[in-house]
């Protein structure tokens, strides 16, 4: 293995960026404002999924480190909670400005550890930064209420108080944005946090923390505990069960979300869960098919299909099925360019790891064995590498195939034909997930009916990209609890307090 240690950066290059210029590439965890090793001194490697090279070795922390981090976050909370909203807003704005200034370096770190094309990494920095900017503003609008009292000489006052220490557990698919969306919100509310980033992409989290440090975020407000997958469960147990933790904010699989929710239940802790999706992408006969195909490309192939709001099932009306498939196929064939994320022109990188590649290949192979037709792709592009899966278009998918029900999380467009609006709704809603959904129609009444009847937290009408800092992001059913972004995102990290002021005539 070609090991490059972040601490010994002499001759190596991270693609076209020189390591010597990369002051954000850290190889230590961040606790109480200090860059630290694990108590046990163990490390684990962070790999580049494109070529399996080791980018850095970082601390493989366990329960002891997690406990220390929770305790310092509680200590920091005692003073951070009493800062003014204006001060918190000011610090968040500094952090935003520094992330903006260092976008290029952050983007290179994302591409190195997550594999996504540089253009997409730059897009993620813009998107992730928009949450820091948004919550820098929102911090000053966490208002209370004065409610008319039913009794004479009494006053009812409602205020919002920060919950306390928040445990933040994040995935690898958006290693920057999934952190800023939570951390900027909780900081605006007056909370502090311990972040456990994904074992696949901890370097982006550490880089963001480095910039937070430079921005003047007080020590202990943001702490990062890094660990390998082996230690994720013991570290997660401390982060969910320690009595000093007030809230668990998690983005990841429904399976792990259920485990964390169970642990949180023991302490009746607040949870904010962003879990898996199974988004339908529905095209009606009145739709502009060229536009629908353009949006389908974004909804399906962004981050190579590794997004919880990615389109998972394409439901196409029988009247326009052949026409839509023809346009969609042309788009995929001409626009999807598979390769290393740093290479000019590449639009689809590797999948994050071998397990994910095997899962995608298994779902496609199962569908093919049961009669699905491969129009494009359908296999690993071994000539590029063992984690590069071809951009795939799969037709004739039926309910008995695993790919019909499961979240693919890969570059496979699964297409089905429907006859009526009722049938489209029935198929779309026949899942335990309820995150994002997409509808393409020019009929106003149909757009409203679909918006009302789709059992999903988010509905995009004639659009395949719906997320931003301003609207509330989140799901229903097994896709989660709570909302991120918008004015609601900050409310997740506050408790409502009612105070009765009485005897005002005495
Ligand atoms: P993904 O498939 O995106 O890796 P996971 O839900 O498996 O989704 O992982 C999301 C995050 O949850 C990662 O940071 C991972 O390390 C963490 N994680 C996995 N298992 C546990 C656990 N038992 N307790 C706490 N965190 C966990």
Cα-to-centroid distance, 171 and ligand 1 (Å): 7
Site to probe by mutation for ligand 1, drawn from 171, 272, 356 as the one with most ligand atoms within 8 Å of Cβ, is 171
DSSP state of 472: P
Ligand 1 pocket mutation pick from 256, 264, 272 by most atoms within 8 angstroms of CB:
256
User: Are the C-beta atoms of residues 394 and 372 closer than 8 Å to each other?
Assistant: yes
Q: Count CA atoms within 13 Å of residue 127 on its CB side.
A: 18
Write the residue with the smallest CA distance to atom 2 of ligand 1. 253
Q: How far, in Å, is the centroid of ligand 1 from the Cα of 356?
A: 14
Nearest residue (CA) to ligand 1, atom 27: 232
Ligand 1 centroid to 344 CA: how many Å? Answer: 32
Distance 478 CA to ligand 1 centre (A): 16
Atom of ligand 1 nearest to the CA of 257: 6
Atom of ligand 1 nearest to the CA of 172: 3
> Ligand 1, from 44, 114, 169: best to mutate by most atoms within 8 Å of Cβ?
169
Helices 202-214 + 177-189 axis angle, to 10: 40
Ligand 1 atom with the shortest distance to the CA of 198: 14
How far apart CA 403 and CA 167 sit, in angstroms, is 33
Closest residue by CA, ligand 1 atom 14: 198
284 CA to middle of ligand 1, Å?
Answer: 37
**Residues present in the chain in total:** 506
Identify the residue whose C-alpha is closest to ligand 1 atom 18: 232
Ligand 1 midpoint to CA 355 (Å)? 14
Which residues, at least 6 apart from 369, have a Cβ–Cβ distance to it below 8 Å?
Answer: none
For the chain, count helices (H), then strands (E).
Answer: 15, 24
pLDDT score, position 364: 98
Ligand 1, pocket-test mutation among 252, 258, 355, 409, most atoms within 8 A of CB: 252
Contacts of 22 (CB under 8 A, 6+ apart): 9, 14, 105, 108, 109
DSSP H/E element including 279: strand 279-283
Q: Which residues line ligand 1 (CB under 6 A)?
A: 169-172, 196, 198-199, 229, 232-233, 236, 252-253, 256, 259-260
User: Which residue has its alpha carbon closest to ligand 1 atom 25?
Assistant: 236
> What tens-digit pLDDT sequence spans the chain (506 residues)?
333 333 333 334 455 566 556 899 999 999 999 999 999 999 999 999 999 999 999 999 999 999 999 999 999 999 999 999 999 999 999 999 999 999 999 999 999 999 999 999 999 999 999 999 999 999 999 999 999 999 999 999 999 999 999 999 999 999 999 999 999 999 999 999 999 999 999 999 999 999 999 999 999 999 999 999 999 999 999 999 999 999 999 999 999 999 999 999 999 999 999 999 999 999 999 999 999 999 999 999 999 999 999 999 999 999 999 999 999 999 999 999 999 999 999 999 999 999 999 999 999 999 999 999 999 999 999 999 999 999 999 999 998 999 998 999 999 999 999 999 999 999 999 999 999 999 999 999 999 999 999 999 999 999 999 999 999 999 999 999 999 999 999 999 999 999 999 999 99
Residue 505's Cα: distance from chain center in Å? 53
Work out the number of other CB atoms within 10 angstroms of the CB of residue 116: 30
Contact 433, 475 (CB under 8 A): yes
Q: Give the integer Cα–Cα distance in Å for 462 and 438.
A: 7
Judge contact between 206 and 179, C-beta under 8 A.
no
User: Active-site residues: which are they?
Assistant: 274, 308
Q: Point out the ligand 1 atom lying closest to the alpha carbon of residue 236.
A: 25
Q: How far is the CA of 252 from the centre of ligand 1 (A)?
A: 6
Burial (CB count <10 Å: 0-12, 13-18, 19+), residue 182: buried
CA 442, distance to chain mean position in Å, is: 31
Q: Which domains does the chain have, with CATH numbers?
A: 62-276+483-494 (3.40.605.10), 279-430+436-468 (3.40.309.10)
pLDDT of residue 341: 96
d(CA 58, CA 226): 7
Going by alpha carbons, the residue nearest to atom 4 of ligand 1 is 171
Give distance in angstroms: CA of 202 to centre of ligand 1: 13
């Amino acid at each position: 293995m070609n090991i490059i240690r972040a601490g010994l950066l002499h001759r190596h290059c991270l693609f076209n960026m020189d390591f010597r210029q990369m002051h954000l590439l850290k190889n230590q965890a961040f606790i109480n404002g200090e860059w630290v090793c694990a108590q046990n001194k163990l490390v684990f490697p962070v790999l580049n999924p494109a070529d399996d090279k080791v980018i850095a070795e970082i601390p493989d922390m366990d329960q002891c480190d997690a406990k220390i981090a929770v305790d310092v976050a509680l200590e920091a909370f005692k003073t951070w909670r009493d800062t003014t909203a204006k001060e918190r807003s000011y610090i968040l704005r500094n952090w935003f400005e520094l992330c903006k200034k260092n976008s290029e370096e952050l983007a290179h770190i994302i591409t190195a550890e997550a594999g996504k094309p540089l253009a997409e990494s730059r897009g993620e920095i813009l998107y992730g930064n928009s949450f820091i900017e948004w919550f820098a503003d929102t911090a000053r609008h966490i208002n209370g209420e004065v409610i008319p009292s039913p009794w004479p000489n009494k006053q009812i006052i409602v205020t919002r108080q920060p919950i306390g220490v928040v445990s933040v557990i994040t995935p690898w698919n958006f290693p920057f944005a999934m952190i800023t969306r939570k951390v900027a919100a909780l900081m605006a509310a007056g909370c502090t946090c311990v972040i456990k980033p994904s074992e696949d992409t901890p370097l982006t989290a550490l880089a963001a923390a480095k910039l937070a440090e430079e921005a003047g975020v007080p020590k202990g407000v943001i702490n990062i505990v890094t660990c390998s997958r082996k230690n994720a469960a013991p570290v997660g147990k401390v982060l969910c069960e320690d009595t000093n933790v007030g809230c668990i904010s998690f983005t990841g699989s429904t399976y792990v979300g259920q485990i964390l929710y169970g642990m949180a239940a023991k302490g009746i802790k607040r949870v904010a869960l962003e879990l898996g999706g199974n988004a339908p992408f529905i095209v009606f006969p009145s739709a502009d098919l060229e536009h629908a195909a353009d949006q389908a490309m974004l909804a399906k192939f962004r981050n190579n299909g590794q997004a919880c709001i990615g389109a998972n099932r394409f439901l196409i009306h029988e009247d326009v099925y052949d026409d839509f498939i023809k346009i969609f196929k042309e788009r995929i064939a001409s626009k999807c360019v598979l390769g290393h994320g740093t290479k000019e022109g590449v639009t689809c990188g590797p999948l994050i790891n071998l397990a994910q590649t095997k899962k995608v290949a298994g779902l496609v192979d199962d569908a093919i064995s049961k009669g699905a037709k491969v129009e494009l792709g359908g296999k690993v592009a071994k000539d590029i590498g063992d984690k590069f899966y071809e951009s795939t278009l799969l037709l004739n998918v039926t309910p008995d195939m695993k790919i019909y029900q499961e979240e693919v999380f890969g570059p496979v467009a699964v297409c089905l034909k429907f006859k009526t609006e009722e049938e489209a709704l029935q198929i779309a809603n026949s899942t335990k997930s309820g995150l994002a959904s997409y509808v393409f129609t020019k009929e106003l009444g149909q757009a409203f009916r679909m918006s009302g009847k789709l059992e999903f937290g988010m509905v995009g009408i004639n659009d395949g990209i719906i997320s931003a800092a301003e609207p509330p992001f989140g799901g229903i059913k097994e896709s989660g609890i709570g909302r991120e972004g918008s004015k609601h995102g900050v409310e997740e990290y506050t408790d409502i307090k009612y105070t009765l002021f009485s005897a005002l005539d005495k």
